[in-house]
């Protein structure tokens, strides 16, 4: 049953060559989001994986914009957790902590509100895709700097050849993903 759902979901991921620049194969999740059954399937599979692998004993989901927000907030709502936004530089209105990191394409700085996490809170990091792992590690570092305990990271898509998983595992973060390429 689950393998059929995975197959269905996989068919909804559109691969766009040379976006946003030459040589990058972009995994576009918009066909998943715009199909009610596919969107629900993705969120249900993500929630089940968290519950089975990490349990229910955590407080918040932290995600990075913009596709991470869509999946992360739906998972947080479904599992009755708080949701924390990690945003690109200059977007958050209140006092922030910031962290700079390298991407598969380019570099970026991300920020979190200083009151987004309380000391000791357990947090799951969620994004649509893990490539080199830089974005997820940056998110985890910001959460940790605020005293949060990152209990795991979950992705709809994992690009295994880029070995982002290793970067998170080096930080002692358990990595979960639904679709692996
Ligand atoms: P990374 O920091 O290298 O793990 O890159 C992950 C972040 O960049 C995620 O927020 C993804 O949405 C985005 N990203 C990186 N590579 C791709 C790709 N090939 N297709 C779609 N999104 C990507």
Residue 96 maps to a domain: yes
In tens, the pLDDT along 142-171 reads 999 999 999 999 999 999 999 999 999 999
Ligand 1 atom at minimal distance to the Cα of residue 134: 2
Residue 40 maps to a domain: no
The DSSP string of 39-80 is HHHHHHHHHHHHHHHH-S---EEEEETTHHHHHHHHHHHHTT
Residue 14 maps to a domain: no
What integer pLDDT is reported at residue 104 of this predicted model? 59
Which residues, in sequence order, are bridge partners of residue 62?
84, 125
- Say if residues 149 and 176 touch (Cβ distance below 8 Å): no
Residue 120 maps to a domain: yes
Q: How far from 12 is each of 7, 146, 162, CA to CA, in Å? A: 9, 37, 22
Closest C-alpha residue for ligand 1 atom 3 = 132
What integer pLDDT is reported at residue 101 of this predicted model? 79
Counting residues of the chain whose pLDDT is more than 70, the rounded percentage is: 98
Residue 126: which domain range? 55-180
Query: What is the band of 135 on the pLDDT scale with cuts at 50, 70, 90?
Result: very high
Task: Identify the residue whose tokens are 């990690």.
Answer: 86
Question: What is the domain-level CATH number for residue 67?
Answer: 3.40.50.2020
Residue 168 DSSP SS3: helix
Query: In the sheet that 60-64 helps form, which strands lie side by side, from edge to edge?
Result: 96-102, 107-113, 82-88, 60-64, 122-130, 149-158, 175-180
Ligand 1 neighbourhood includes 27 CB (under 6 angstroms): yes
Closest C-alpha residue for ligand 1 atom 20 = 26
Q: What is the mean pLDDT of residues 74-84?
A: 98
Instruction: Report the mean per-residue pLDDT for the chain.
Output: 96
In tens, the pLDDT along 3-38 reads 999 999 999 999 999 999 999 999 999 999 999 999
Say what the pTM is.
0.97
Higher pLDDT: 152 or 107? It is 152
105, pLDDT greater than 70: no
Q: What is the mean pLDDT of residues 55-74?
A: 98
Ligand 1 neighbourhood includes 24 CB (under 6 angstroms): yes
127, pLDDT greater than 90: yes
d(CA 135, CA 109) in angstroms, rounded, equals 9
Residue 50 maps to a domain: no
Pocket of ligand 1, candidates 86, 129, 157: which has the most ligand atoms within 8 Å of its Cβ, to mutate?
Answer: 129
Residue 30 maps to a domain: no
Residue 10 maps to a domain: no
Q: What is the mean pLDDT of residues 92-101?
A: 95
Residue 39 maps to a domain: no
Domain count, the chain: 1
DSSP E strand stretches across the chain: 14-17, 25-28, 60-64, 82-88, 96-102, 107-113, 122-130, 149-158, 175-180
Residue 170 DSSP SS3: helix
């Amino acid at each position: 049953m689950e393998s059929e759902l995975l197959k269905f979901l996989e068919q909804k991921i559109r691969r766009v060559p040379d976006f946003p620049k030459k040589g990058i194969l972009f995994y576009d999740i918009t066909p998943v989001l715009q199909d009610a059954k596919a969107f629900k399937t993705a969120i249900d599979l993500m929630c089940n994986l968290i519950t089975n692998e990490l349990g229910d004993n955590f407080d918040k989901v932290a995600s990075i914009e913009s596709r991470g927000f869509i999946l992360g907030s739906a998972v947080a709502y479904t599992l009755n957790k708080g949701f924390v936004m990690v945003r690109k530089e200059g977007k958050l209105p209140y006092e922030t902590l910031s962290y700079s990191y390298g991407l598969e394409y380019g570099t970026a700085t991300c920020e979190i509100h200083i009151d987004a996490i309380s000391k000791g809170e357990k947090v799951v990091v969620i994004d649509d895709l893990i490539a080199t792992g830089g974005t997820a590690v940056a998110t985890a570092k910001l959460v940790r700097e605020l005293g949060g305990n990152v209990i795991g990271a979950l992705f709809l898509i994992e690009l295994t050849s880029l070995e982002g998983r290793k970067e998170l595992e080096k930080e002692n973060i358990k990595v979960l993903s639904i679709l692996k390429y």
